[in-house]
Structure 1
Amino acid sequence: MDTLATLRQALLTNREQTLTSIYQRTFPLVRRYVQQHGGSAPDAKDVFQDALVVFYEKAVAESFVLTSSVSTYLLGISRNLWRRELSRRQQLPATSLSEEHTQEVAEEAAPGPDSRESLAVLDYVEQLGERCKSLLLAFYYFQQPLEQIAGSLHYGSIRSATVQKFKCLERLRKSVRAVVQHALVHS
């Protein structure tokens, strides 16, 4: 694809093969950029697909002038789209868990005729510490996306929040297992 005319002709006559070739050459660059800037591989795919659509629409237009390589142009579009997405995500209301939320959880799990177990689990969650409690309640009870949790709890990335969620959950499981084993041994 030496010239823009050749590229335009390839896109018009054999669009799928041409876009596949461009995708294979350029997507790894976009994925690396998005992941280095707080995104995931699926985020990179979404951004790159949007960038390909923008590129295709411009490339088949007669007035389009390409002043760089296709990969450089697509990476530029992808960077702009990713920056816009990060900005949009930061503007989402970051709900932090306050005492009010914790109280709601406790009230909903208040002991009824046979709900001692649910209250006991909340007791174990309380023992994990504020950070773990906030993370687990946000994810499992309030069903907040990890992006939002990572932002509101000041984790460096979504991956960090995911790892911490796993660690907190493992600590909770160990606590519950220990009590169950103790109860079985002493009953």
Structure 2
Amino acid sequence: MVSSPKFSSALTLRTALLANREQALTQLYRHAFPLVRRHVSARGGTAEDAQDVFHDALVILYEQAVGGTLTLTATAGTYLLGISRNLWRHELRRRARLPHEALPDDPGQLAAEAATETEATGFAVLDYVEQLGARCKNMLLAFYYFQQPLTQIAEANGYRSVRSATVQKFKCLERLRNSVRRAFHSETIEY
């Protein structure tokens, strides 16, 4: 998706950041920011929103890379785009929760806001993933969102075997399903 062959592994990214942080971050910015800006603006955001989201994603990537906790299955630019997408979804959900002060007179703006709210509510499951705890959240995101192989997930999380990681993934998924079912059930019951 994002061509950044120099940073196709966590080790090369970490080495580049430690050797010349400014140059490495500039290269990441040039490769990944246009895609993040396009994604955010296509979903109702401004250029400033895109910058905020990208900078937050860059901080996350930097901390993980320098801290040695980063595992890349794609390029660093693609990883940044994924983080940015998640951060923007979170921001849309946050904005949808804020009370609306006044309805706009422009029907086009109303339609755009309705589309944004619809998109934001579609990702409410991510709120439940956040409640699972760090270990389950990391596992489910690694497997389902970043599509990492279970061998890599097992290794990164310290499981003795792939089977142990599979069992843990299943348990985390069941916890997620149950919490979503409970929430859905409580919202649909009329008292």
Pairwise TM-score range, normalised by the shorter structure: 0.5 to 0.7
Q: For 1:31, give the aligned amino acid.
A: R
- Name the SS for the 1:18 alignment partner: helix
Q: Aligned partner of 1:83: which letter?
A: R
TM-score by length of 2: 0.51
Q: Structure 1 residues 96 and 13, CA, compared in 2 at 3 Å: closer, same or farther?
A: same
Q: Report the residue type matching 1:44 in the other structure.
A: A
Counterpart secondary structure, 1:57: helix
Equivalent-residue separation in structure 1 for 2:100 and 2:88 (angstroms): 19
Alpha-carbon shift at residue 50 of structure 1 (Å): 0.5
Residue aligned with 2:38, SS: helix
Instruction: State the alpha-carbon separation in 1 of the partners of residues 41 and 15 from structure 2.
Output: 33
Structure 2 unaligned residues grouped into runs of 5+: 1-5, 114-191
Is 1:25 paired with 2:41? no
Deviation (angstroms), 1:7: 1.4
**Structure 2 residue aligned with 1:76:** 82
Q: 2:59 aligns with which of 50, 53, 59?
A: 53
- Structure 2 counterpart of 1:40, from 6, 28, 46: 46
2:61/2:70 contact within 8 Å kept? no
Q: CA RMSD in A?
A: 2.1
Corresponding residue number in structure 2 for 1:9: 15
Amino acid at match of 1:27: F
TM-aligned CA deviation for residue 60 of structure 1: 1.1
Which is further off, 76-85 or 53-62? Answer: 53-62
Amino acid at match of 2:49: D
Instruction: Please give the alpha-carbon distance, in whole angstroms, between the structure 1 residues aligned to 2:105 and 2:15.
Output: 57
Q: For residue 48 of structure 2, what is the amino acid of its counterpart?
A: P
Quick check: 2:13–2:76 contact (8 Å CA) kept in 1? no
**Could you report, residue by residue, the CA deviation over 1:55-113 in whole angstroms, capped at 9, with x for unpaired residues?**
0001112232111111110000000000000011111111236xxxxxxxxxxxxxxxx
In structure 1, runs of 5+ residues without a counterpart are 98-129, 136-149, 158-187
1:156 to 90, 101, 112: 112
For 2:35, the aligned partner's letter is L
Matched, 1:66 2:72: yes
Identity score, percent: 54
Highest CA radius of gyration, 1 or 2?
1
Structure 1 length-normalised TM: 0.52
How far, CA to CA, are the matches of 1:37 and 1:24 in structure 2? 21
- 8 Å contact 2:53–2:87 — kept in the other structure? yes
- The separation in 2 between residues aligned to 1:81 and 1:32, in whole angstroms, is 14
Match for residue 92 of structure 1 among 85, 89, 98: 98
Determine helix, strand or coil for the equivalent of 1:60: helix
